[in-house]
Structure 1
Amino acid sequence: MTSYCDHCGRPAGEGDHEACLAARAMEPPRYCARCRRRMVVQVTMRGWSARCAEHGTLSG
């Protein structure tokens, strides 16, 4: 099963994702790491939630 970068949406095994990892320290994920769908993200005062239509909700 292929996994994807949750910041840029490209396959996790291709290329360098150093910039993505740095951005993810400050931002919620944009893409589902399992299916590459763009997620619906909501940022609140206490954190964030990101919902994939296929795989459900993540929170941080």
Structure 2
Amino acid sequence: MYCDRCGSPADAGDHAACAAARKLEPPRYCPDCRRRMKVQVVPAGWTATCVEHGTRVS
């Protein structure tokens, strides 16, 4: 598993800043494969799409 904000392994290092930022921002990396996701932000929320694992929505 990977951090969906910075892309680093989730069990390596402290991701407190990432968790705080994720309350306001959409994910940028796929937590399953670490690929950069295509993110679209709209007033009603966001969608983040990984080529391999599909779309996540807010």
> Structures share a fold, TM > 0.5?
yes
Runs of 4 or more above 6 Å deviation: none
Q: Could you report, residue by residue, the CA deviation over 1:32-56 in whole angstroms, capped at 9, with x for unpaired residues?
A: 0000000000000100000000000
Residues 9-48 of structure 1 aligned to structure 2 (within 5 Å): 9-48=7-46
User: Cα offset for 1:28?
Assistant: 0.1
Identity %: 64
Where structure 1 has 5 or more consecutive residues not aligned to the other structure, the ranges are: none
Tell me how many residue pairs correspond in the alignment: 58
1: CA distance between counterparts of 2:57 and 2:25?
12
1:51 matched to 2:58? The reply is no
Q: Helix, strand or coil: the match of 1:27?
A: coil
TM-score by length of 1: 0.96
2: CA distance between counterparts of 1:23 and 1:39?
17
Q: Helix, strand or coil: the match of 1:49?
A: strand
